[in-house]
Chain A
Amino acid sequence: MSALLTSRNVADVLSGVTNGVIYSLVALSLVLVWRSTRILNFAQGAMAMMATYIGFALLAPSTNYWVSMAVAIVAGMAIGGATERVIVRALYGKPEINPVVAMVGFLLVLESVAAAIWSTSSRGLPTPFSMVDWQLNHKPVAMSPFALYEIITAVAVMTVIAVLFEYTKLGLRLRAAAIAPEVSRLLGVRVGRMLTLGWMLSSGVGAITAVLVASNYFTGLTPTAMDGVFAFGFIAAAIGGLDSPVGALVSGVAMGVILQFVGDYLNSNAIILVALGMLVVSLMVRPNGVFTTARQRRV
């Protein structure tokens, strides 16, 4: 048994899952925004990065990790809400291309401002749990306390969001505002507020994700730390379906595992290429995602 657990393939699976839940979280953020406002938030990663800087770089370095995490989450929600009210709201009803362009521009601004204030050098964050792999019979298992923390946090976040949407009054309103905004208004739902809230939830989740990514001392916190993760997260969301939270979870984890094997058995440069290939193939077969509930447009 212990030989199995320390074997190369199981190690890849475990590492893959650890990476995969991060992609799932990013994908979930994108799904939240897409479902509420039909916009693909390209600045998602950058907003989350900025929130992390606010939580960890603005406050004194000696601040407790959990306090900084809480500040980052609040900052993230504030950024998300402000972005929806100021930028996104002005773009409703405009051509599809406009919000994409605006978010890309916003991404550039956020990364440049962060680099201007805090420079591009990597910043280490306090690590709340050890990153040393556990040992089984003196051989390492590809799981450390930190990795387990990542997985548990991700699962907890996804559960909270799922419960919120499916079982609470607020969730009902959020879903209604996204699916049928006019009808919802006729039922007294304050649709504008629901849209803002959707963005706030998305960027709150995003902030948690960025903190997890940045807490990894191999990468640390840089203005562009979330770029790669965002790319993978987007691919996961696109494959799973931009309107499907379940899709986000499944495709994120699946991608994490598959790419871990690719990196291990092939070449680390091949990882993004395989991911790109998966995206292309998946979108050709299922243009709206594998788990989508959207119907194909018919003339």
Chain B
Amino acid sequence: MGPVQATQRFVATTVLCVVVILASWLGVATPRVALALVVVVDVFVISVSLLTSRSFRRDHPVATRAVLSLVTVDVLVAASGFFSATVNSNLAIGAAMSIVLLGLSFLTGSSGQISIGNGAFMGVGAFTVAIWANHHATTPIAMVLVLAVVAGGLVGLLLGLPATRLRGPYLAGMTLAFAVAFGAILNLFGSWTGGDSGLQLPYAVNAPRWLFHFYSSATSSLTVNSVWLADVAIVTTGVALFFMANLFASRTGRAMRLVRDNDVAAELVGISLPRARVIAFIVSAAYAALGGGLWTIINNAVTPSTYGFALSITILSLVVIGGIGTIPGAIIGGVIYAFSANVIAWITAHTGLNPQGNVASQLNGIIFGVLLVVTILFAPTGIAGVVRRWAARRPR
């Protein structure tokens, strides 16, 4: 792309941005809404302009990933203002789950290790947030989430160290034992964790004052709150996505893929096997904890029964169905999770099942379990893998 085209692009983008600013200023009622509109649309315009430039993509890969994350966040945050409370709630839960799936996808896809204990790592993050918030109510959410990440990372280190010496099935078994043991751990520290009933957050998580007015144009405070929570989840997911994308593409990420495919060769090349494996483990645990922490914030409470063995299996199912080792796969998994409750409710209604009955309550497990087995048998690369193969076949 020559300098002439670059200039053209720059001019076009600038003109468009100015037009948007003017239009908002003149056309919209309150200055705050106008500002919100300008920010959202102009970010979108600039991002698209950058992303469609092949030279930008080629020469600035890290920035490209940043812009990609930014534009995704931008679109979703804008959209959340128009979604109902239910949709926003699902979106938030699903986004948090995407983060967890990113972590597990990285672990299995990159270093070939299996973990069926990430539900417990989610629990670590979830309870960290709840316990901290109950003792220090003034800490900003961002800080609390960082704490959850650190806690998750530490536990990941603790389990990741022995994990380095274990081959596949033994490692899976160890993570299973951890998942089963997590409940006992929570009970052991029952005075901190609130026992069977769990903990509540001492306050409803709301937008901070300087942003509050952006969110107050909606009618009920419930909707406002759900929009804010959804946006928090979306932004956090965007950040997590950015880091993960960089990790995948980095030397560390490539080294890990080498470890996955041929650890003998990796050792010969000088990659420290144990180190690569532990890092992958820590990352997956930290991501899971972040997702769990978000869940606590979204639900405003945490209960131990949520973070049992069944959750770990669900997480594994979503990663496999979405596509192991791929970023789009994790996102797909999150979307599936977000709306699975609705889909199952629809199925229950349309097949005449008793919603309170045994079959209905187990439908979730049956469907995910069957999907998992079928996927691993017939399409082990998951939805993302199938789409990728199909896209590669299409004539250019």
Contact = CB atoms under 8 A, between A and B. Distances in A.
Contacts of B12: none
A192 interface: no
Contact of B320 (A90, A101, A111, A227): A101
A42 B369 contact: no
Given A108-B365, A228-B180, A287-B165, A238 B173 contact: yes
A132 to B, nearest CB: 29
Contact of B366 (A116, A276, A287): A116
B362 interface: yes
B112 interface: yes
**What secondary structure prevails in chain A residues at the interface with B?**
helix
B198 interface: no
A270 interface: yes
B309 to A, nearest CB: 7
Contacts of B61: none
Interface in B84-117: 108, 112, 114, 116
Interface range for B? 35 or more
A212 to B, nearest CB: 20
Interface stretch (B15-23, B183-191, B221-229, B386-394): B183-191
A98 B365 CA distance: 19
A112 B177 CA distance: 21
B267 interface: yes
Interface string A103-115: 0111111111101
A91 interface: yes
Contacts of A119: 358
A264 interface: no
Nearest to B190: A269
A63 to B, nearest CB: 23
Contacts of A235: 173, 177
Interface in B362-381: 362-366, 368-373, 376-377, 380
Contacts of B174: 238, 276, 279-280, 283
Nearest to B324: A97
Contacts of A186: none
Contact of A105 (B165, B309, B361, B376): B376
B376 A102 contact: yes
Contacts of B187: 269
Interface in A24-77: 39-40, 42
Contacts of A118: 358
Interface range for A? 35 or more
Contact of A269 (B165, B176, B184, B370): B184
B247 interface: no
B369 A96 contact: no
A189 B294 CA distance: 57
B172 A40 contact: yes
A136 to B, nearest CB: 34
B154 interface: no
A271 interface: yes
A1 interface: no
A2 interface: no
B358 A238 contact: no
Contacts of A116: 358-359, 361-363, 366
Contact of A106 (B116, B181, B264, B373): B373
25 contacts: A40-B169, A42-B116, A95-B112, A96-B167, A101-B376, A105-B313, A108-B317, A111-B365, A112-B366, A113-B362, A115-B358, A115-B362, A115-B365, A116-B358, A116-B359, A116-B362, A227-B180, A234-B176, A238-B173, A270-B184, A275-B177, A275-B181, A276-B178, A279-B174, A299-B268
Interface of A: 39-40, 42, 87, 90-91, 94-98, 100-102, 104-113, 115-120, 227-228, 231, 234-235, 238, 242, 267, 269-273, 275-276, 279-280, 283-284, 287, 299
Shortest 5 CB-CB distances between A and B: which pairs? Answer: A105-B372, A112-B365, A108-B369, A109-B369, A40-B169
